Structure 1
Amino acid sequence: MLTLADCIAFSDLLPEEIDEICCHERLGFMVALTKGHSFLERPWGPTAIRQMMRDNLTRLMRGGELKRAVPTLETYHRFQARHPGGVERRAA
């Protein structure tokens, strides 16, 4: 039987990255984990996930929640370092 830790390890995402997808998409943790993993298998996936995090950052900063924005920004930078590149699917 797979544990939650196994699923996270297989997803190639960190728990805080999955939380950002949860927040943006308004999904439960396991559904967001699955969505994030499927995104990473596509050329545009890392770009799409980074955009979700930027959207979350924008919402927090516009709402004046700067203390909550700091961990999101750190998660964004960590994700960008782990998953650089990607194709902007909306540019075509």
Structure 2
Amino acid sequence: MLTLNDCIAFSDLLPEEIEEISRHERLGFVVALAKGHSLLDRPWGPPAIRQMMRDNLVRAMRRGDAASCAPTMEVYHRFQVRHPGGIDRRRTA
């Protein structure tokens, strides 16, 4: 039987990254995990996930929620190192 930790390990995402996807997409953790894993299989997936994190950061800054800005930036930078590149679909048109 697979546990949640097994699923996280197979997803190639960190729990904090899944939380960012969950927050952006307003999904439960397990559904966000599946969506994030699915996005990583696409050439445009990593840029899409990075954009979700940037959107979360902008939203926090507009709310004046400085407490969540630093952790979001840390997760963003860690994700960018682990999953560089990709094709931004918005720039290929």
- TM-score, structure 1 normalization: 0.98
Count of aligned pairs between the two proteins: 92
Taking only aligned residues, the RMSD between alpha carbons, in angstroms, comes to: 0.5
Following superposition of structure 1 onto structure 2, how do residues 6-21 of structure 1 map, counting pairs within 5 Å? 6-21=6-21
1:58 positional shift:
0.1
Following superposition of structure 1 onto structure 2, how do residues 21-36 of structure 1 map, counting pairs within 5 Å? 21-36=21-36
Long gaps (5+) in structure 1: none
2: CA distance, partners of 1:68 / 1:43 = 29
Matched with 2:86 is 86
Matched with 2:66 is 66
Q: Secondary structure at the match of 2:89?
A: coil
1:29 positional shift:
0.4
- TM-score, structure 2 normalization: 0.97
- Would you identify which runs of 4 or more consecutive aligned residues in structure 1 move more than 3 Å? none
1:42 aligns with 2:67: no
1:68 positional shift:
1.0
Long gaps (5+) in structure 2: none
2: CA distance, partners of 1:55 / 1:11 = 22
1:67 positional shift:
1.1
